[in-house]
């Protein structure tokens, strides 16, 4: 997600953005059935981040916090792991199946909780462009210019 610099965010615009960004995500759809996961809290937090930074750069962090909270709840609440009376998979299985880390960064699809990356992308969340050199923030001159 790129940082915008020339847009002035209003509370209304930020709320609309966060509602769309979070509620249209696979994570929200999966975790909406999990009790004790306050999705409204994460939307409000997203809005607050936008208002404080005048940027959407932290929005993915809020969505990921929702996923993490959801996964924690399903690991602790055994009733969510039970197969439903109608024979459908448990809430936990449904969440694990479609809620991938960072929504595969928009460069892959989530299959059983694991990102399958598009051609040219890699990493656990498909966030790395494989044909692009990594950014090096510092080189250890004392060690001959090698980086770790």
Q: What is the pLDDT of residues 23-68, one digit of tens each?
A: 999 899 989 889 889 999 999 999 999 999 999 999 999 999 999 9
3-state secondary structure the chain: CCCCCCCCCCHHHHHHHHHHHHHCCHHHHHHCCCCCCCHHHHHHHHHHHHHHHCCCCCHHHHHHHHHHHHHHHHHHCHHHHCCCCCCCCCHHHHHHHHCCHHHHHHCEEEECCEEEECCCEECCCCCEECCCCCCCCCCEHHHCCECC
CB atoms within 10 A of CB 2: 7
C-alpha triplet 70, 72, 74: angle, nearest 5°: 70
As a dihedral over the C-alpha atoms of residue 13, residue 16, residue 19, residue 25, rounded to 10 degrees, the angle is -90
Q: What is the pLDDT of residues 75-107, one digit of tens each?
A: 999 999 888 888 888 889 988 888 899 999 999
Q: What is the pLDDT of residues 119-147, one digit of tens each?
A: 999 999 999 999 998 777 766 667 666 65
């Amino acid at each position: 997600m790129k940082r915008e610099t020339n847009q002035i965010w209003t509370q209304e615009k930020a709320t609309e953005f966060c509602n769309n960004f979070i509620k249209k995500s696979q994570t929200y759809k999966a975790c909406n059935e999990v009790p004790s996961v306050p999705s409204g809290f994460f939307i409000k937090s997203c809005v607050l981040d936008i208002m404080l930074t005048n940027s959407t750069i932290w929005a993915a962090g809020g969505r990921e916090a929702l996923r993490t909270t959801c996964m924690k709840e399903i690991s602790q609440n055994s009733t969510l792991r039970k197969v439903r009376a109608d024979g459908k998979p448990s809430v936990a299985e449904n969440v694990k199946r479609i809620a991938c880390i960072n929504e595969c960064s928009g460069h892959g699809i989530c299959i059983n909780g694991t990102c399958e990356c598009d051609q040219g992308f890699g990493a656990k969340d498909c966030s790395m462009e494989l044909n692009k050199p990594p950014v090096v923030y510092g080189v250890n001159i004392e060690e001959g210019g090698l980086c770790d």
